Structure 1
Amino acid sequence: MGKVTGFLEYERLEEGYEPVEKRLKTYKEFVIGLKEDEAKIQGARCMDCGTPFCNNGCPVNNIIPDFNDLVYRGDWRNAIEVLHSTNNFPEFTGRICPAPCEAACTLNVNDDPVGIKSIEHAIIDRAWMEGWVLPQPPARKTGKKVAVVGSGPAGLAAAQQLARAGHDVTVFEKNDRIGGLLRYGIPDFKMEKSHIDRRIKQMEAEGVTFRTGVLVGKMPEGSKVTNWAKETVSAEQLRKDFDAVLLAGGAEQSRDLPVPGRELAGVHFAMEFLPQQNKVVAGDKLKDQIRADGKHVIVIGGGDTGSDCVGTSNRHGAKSVTQFELMPMPPEQEDRPLTWPYWPYKLRTSSSHEEGCVREFAIATKEFIGEKGRVTGLKTVRVEWKDGKMVEVPGTEQVMKADLVLLAMGFVSPVGSVIEAFGVDKDNRGNAKASTDLIGGYRTNVDKVFAAGDMRRGQSLVVWAIREGRQAARAVDEFLMGHSDLPR
């Protein structure tokens, strides 16, 4: 372990932020990572528990006590080797993962947990700076060809693992750039896209081929899903040209709010709003970009996507930003003896909230109100929960001003047309049906076709996508070769 008495001597140290007035002027990342000596102290706080609950709390099962100890001892080179052994892209998770590992930290029973995420962030940034992250091309080629549909974290993780196993991997992405929801769902101020770009270069050097602007199957009519595809390829063609196909697209079908006035101009899905700003940051010129400048913005949905809309609206120069959450306001402090080591239910305040936002809890939207075809306000009502049912509170209806409404209520399923194009069975939530069994896992009902990530499990975290991509890669490798040396 690090230092035997480290958890008694040192306190948790949070990563810093640049001042609000400075960061609102740019779309650059504003988190100030730990310095070398600060990361060492955080590593010293790790107790190397007999049962390291953090490992199980982490979906990719990062070997957390080991890299904490290595950072404490100053062995950064081996720390990145340990980290990369379970996680292909720690620069993604070190920035945007909510860190369930920290909720599971034994110190979190009655103290502040070890800053695991900040240590991971420090390790990978140091590794890139030192030039330790290099291509790992296979020693031999298998002659097998694999198509990966979708270039989000699940698709990228699977593609990298399969290429390193010696297969010829082609990644198909419907949008104009690689990255999936990492590219067009996460604002640049949370994760700059240069992190994706340098991984793409590494993977190309390892033999992965990327094809952008290619839609597999057909997009449903009237779909609001972001799509800049220039060509299409049929499911039949992929099954003919490749020895295996992995479906790894994101859960992009946004949950709608079918109340009166939904058709008014100025009411948009978050995934119409956020990708446009990412394209502008990338240097693209857009006509009729959805902007929040000088507007009263209401974001419906209290999760991470809603928070991203808040941060982007503030950078646009919104006059006011209000975020709605249907559920009651959570407690500021969780009941640790009841919830540990599981993810706790408590109030979470993001950096975007701190930049300026009014948060409304236990509130529902009954109607969008407008003039001349454009939204001008929302008719709302307070709600409460009785006997497991949501009921309106009498006498609480009010009208709130809004010039722009962003729907960020989560995602219901992947784009169904891709699943249907292959004839893959769906589960009762509209996801591709495939189990995670060790033998035959991630296989669908269609021969040679596998599914992983959001495509299989529905909307989830980046770290879960990486896990499923890695496990699916092993399943595909086993299917092609009869055995696999890739990690589970």
Structure 2
Amino acid sequence: MGKPTGFIEYLRELPVDRAPQERVRDWKEFHHHMEEKRLRNQAARCMDCGVPFCHTGKLISGMASGCPVNNVIPEWNDLVYRGLWREALDRLHMTNNFPEFTGRVCPAPCEGSCVLGINNPPVTIKTIENAIVDKGWEEGWILPEPPKNRTGKKVAVIGSGPAGLAAAAQLNRAGHTVTVLERADRPGGLLMYGIPNMKLDKREVVERRIKLLEQEGVKFICNANVGDNVEAQLLRKDFDAIVLCTGATQARDLPVDGRSLKGIHFAMEYLTVSTQAVLNGGADHSPIHAKGKDVIVIGGGDTGTDCVGTSVRHGCKSVTQLEIMAKPPMDRAADNPWPEWPKVYKMDYGQEEAAAKFGADPRTYLTTVKRFGADAQGNVSEVVTVQITWQKNDKGQFVPVEVPGSEKSYPAQLVLLAMGFLGPEQMLLKDLALEADPRSNIKADHGKFTTNIKGVFAAGDCRRGQSLVVWAINEGRGAARECDRYLMGTTELP
């Protein structure tokens, strides 16, 4: 603990973001860097608690509390305070393969369980983490580290999202020959196409790390859709083990009248083609575009926010975000105590941008969709909603109940469904004869990651369901460890 009185002397401070009115005119990342002196002061706020909850990585009330990859946060906070950036980077990489990803897109459950946060604003852990790894890249400290010896074992990793990349990195580090199969045209999975460029830069951040993995010996094959143009059973013959990291890409639909109208899309479809257009020469070339349209985003969460931010950059006429849940309180409620994740109201970047352009937070709470209306050409033209309340049914479960007379119509020429995901697509599970759990995810215990098929492992959202990038990295590392143990009889992977 470098400065025992740091948490008393320094207030919580975050980097200044680019102004919303400026950043919506481009697709560049919107965070500014913080100068080193201020970063070191923020690191000094870490108290080196006797029981540091920030790196516990537990589920409490169904939500992450503490860092799921168990970053040793107090240690690298102390190193940053002392100006020992290289040592801080080494300590960070011990537990997290990709801190430049989590430092940008993780919601920071570590900060939600920071002990200082019991009665003060928590330590800016996410900002410091991102600063450490960015400095590592800038200083040239992050270099390829190919394994000194190869085991002769071959492993196929299916899917190149955060779980797949983490599994590939760890298995390659153990000396196995790793091939990553990705069905899209670029590797990165969710990191490439599920998160917009202004939140996670593809060329400067994602592709940089993928190139490093390639230099370390990992092979990537794109446009390889296992179960379609790649036969799943042949992979079992060609490889000594398979790690499935396909994600939970089966989107939740909204089966109401008018769902088949043109102009209604799943959020991930919209985000994918938008990012592809940005990378291929310009956002204006996106086949799904919001320019001049009234946009309705159905669903909250990060994906809904990303749709709002993308729509504003496209030049939408208006944007409204519908949420079925109630508006969160400004402070922790009595039934949401520390160290649970704080379910409090906040404006994320997309809502900030919409408010700057249109004058108000675009979210409407306790609202659900009744039907979609059409124009004469079969395009969506309106969204009819109704207000709801949450009441207990005869089983004691909270269910939405419509408020009589609360119907409302919103004009809409583009509707984006961002209501979460139901699990992995089932084609691959059937091809490999994999067992599924009651939620349709691949059945494999956390910690073991073994499926019912010998030599086939599962990790990330395809195993646990829709979750955080940091949980995916946790699972990718864990599956790599157990896969290595299966191949070699023992393992030294953490």
- TM-score under structure 1 length normalisation: 0.95
Maintained 8 Å contact 2:273/2:286:
no
2:388 aligned with 1:383, yes or no?
A: yes
Kindly tell me: are residues 98 and 288 of structure 1, through their superposed partners in 2, closer, same or farther at Cα, counting changes over 3 Å?
Answer: closer
User: In the alignment, which residue of structure 1 is the partner of 2:434?
Assistant: 424
One-letter amino acid of the counterpart of residue 355, structure 1: E
User: In the alignment, which residue of structure 1 is the partner of 2:469?
Assistant: 462
Q: How many residues align?
A: 471
The 1-side partners of 2:429 and 2:337 are apart by: 37
Kindly tell me: are residues 80 and 337 of structure 1, through their superposed partners in 2, closer, same or farther at Cα, counting changes over 3 Å?
Answer: farther
Alignment of 1:192-341 (within 5 A): 192-194=201-203, 195-218=205-228, 232-283=229-280, 289-335=287-333, 338-341=336-339
User: In the alignment, which residue of structure 2 is the partner of 1:170?
Assistant: 179
Q: Give 1:314 shift.
A: 0.2
One-letter amino acid of the counterpart of residue 176, structure 1: D
User: In the alignment, which residue of structure 1 is the partner of 2:60?
Assistant: none
2:113 aligned with 1:104, yes or no?
A: yes
Alignment of 1:330-409 (within 5 A): 330-335=328-333, 338-356=336-354, 357-372=361-376, 373-387=378-392, 388-409=398-419
One-letter amino acid of the counterpart of residue 324, structure 1: L
Structure 1 segments unaligned to the other structure (5+ residues): 219-231
Maintained 8 Å contact 1:323/1:360:
yes
User: In the alignment, which residue of structure 2 is the partner of 1:221?
Assistant: none
Maintained 8 Å contact 1:298/1:405:
yes
Alignment of 1:11-90 (within 5 A): 11-56=11-56, 57-90=66-99
After superposition, the C-alpha distances for 1:280-337 in whole angstroms (9 at most, x for unaligned) are 1112589771111111111000111000000000001111110000011111111378
User: In the alignment, which residue of structure 2 is the partner of 1:482?
Assistant: 489
One-letter amino acid of the counterpart of residue 479, structure 2: A
The 2-side partners of 1:2 and 1:370 are apart by: 63
Maintained 8 Å contact 2:371/2:383:
yes
User: In the alignment, which residue of structure 1 is the partner of 2:10?
Assistant: 10
The 2-side partners of 1:120 and 1:399 are apart by: 45
Maintained 8 Å contact 1:33/1:121:
no
The 1-side partners of 2:435 and 2:281 are apart by: 38
Maintained 8 Å contact 2:382/2:410:
yes
One-letter amino acid of the counterpart of residue 254, structure 1: A
User: In the alignment, which residue of structure 1 is the partner of 2:455?
Assistant: 448
Q: Give 1:163 shift.
A: 0.4
Q: 1:31 aligns to what SS in structure 2?
A: coil
Q: Which one is further off, 466-475 or 132-141?
A: 132-141
Q: Give 1:3 shift.
A: 0.5
2:442 aligned with 1:435, yes or no?
A: no
Identity %: 55
User: In the alignment, which residue of structure 2 is the partner of 1:227?
Assistant: none
Kindly tell me: are residues 126 and 287 of structure 1, through their superposed partners in 2, closer, same or farther at Cα, counting changes over 3 Å?
Answer: closer
The 2-side partners of 1:202 and 1:168 are apart by: 15
The 2-side partners of 1:266 and 1:482 are apart by: 54
The 2-side partners of 1:455 and 1:254 are apart by: 13
Q: Give 1:401 shift.
A: 1.0
Q: Give 1:61 shift.
A: 0.3
Maintained 8 Å contact 1:15/1:31:
yes
One-letter amino acid of the counterpart of residue 49, structure 1: C
One-letter amino acid of the counterpart of residue 196, structure 1: V
2:470 aligned with 1:472, yes or no?
A: no
Q: 1:38 aligns to what SS in structure 2?
A: helix
One-letter amino acid of the counterpart of residue 364, structure 1: T
Kindly tell me: are residues 337 and 52 of structure 1, through their superposed partners in 2, closer, same or farther at Cα, counting changes over 3 Å?
Answer: farther
Q: Give 1:58 shift.
A: 0.2
Q: Give 1:378 shift.
A: 1.1
The 2-side partners of 1:22 and 1:188 are apart by: 16
One-letter amino acid of the counterpart of residue 236, structure 2: R
Q: 1:214 aligns to what SS in structure 2?
A: coil
Q: 1:412 aligns to what SS in structure 2?
A: strand
Q: 1:216 aligns to what SS in structure 2?
A: coil
- Cα RMSD of the aligned pairs, angstroms, is 1.2
Maintained 8 Å contact 2:42/2:123:
yes
Maintained 8 Å contact 2:274/2:286:
no
One-letter amino acid of the counterpart of residue 80, structure 2: V
Q: Which one is further off, 338-347 or 203-212?
A: 338-347
2:128 aligned with 1:128, yes or no?
A: no
Kindly tell me: are residues 177 and 318 of structure 1, through their superposed partners in 2, closer, same or farther at Cα, counting changes over 3 Å?
Answer: same
After superposition, the C-alpha distances for 1:81-127 in whole angstroms (9 at most, x for unaligned) are 00000000000000000000000000110000000000001000000
Q: 2:401 aligns to what SS in structure 1?
A: strand
Q: Give 1:33 shift.
A: 2.2
Q: Give 1:476 shift.
A: 0.3
- TM-score under structure 2 length normalisation: 0.94
Q: Give 1:338 shift.
A: 4.5
Q: 1:17 aligns to what SS in structure 2?
A: coil
Kindly tell me: are residues 80 and 287 of structure 1, through their superposed partners in 2, closer, same or farther at Cα, counting changes over 3 Å?
Answer: closer
Maintained 8 Å contact 2:276/2:286:
no
Q: 2:225 aligns to what SS in structure 1?
A: strand
The 2-side partners of 1:414 and 1:190 are apart by: 25
After superposition, the C-alpha distances for 1:442-484 in whole angstroms (9 at most, x for unaligned) are 0100111100001101111000000000011000000000000
User: In the alignment, which residue of structure 1 is the partner of 2:62?
Assistant: none
Q: Which one is further off, 16-25 or 92-101?
A: 16-25
Maintained 8 Å contact 1:452/1:469:
yes
The 2-side partners of 1:355 and 1:288 are apart by: 21
One-letter amino acid of the counterpart of residue 486, structure 1: L
Misfit runs of 4+, over 2 Å: 284-288, 335-338
The 2-side partners of 1:421 and 1:199 are apart by: 32
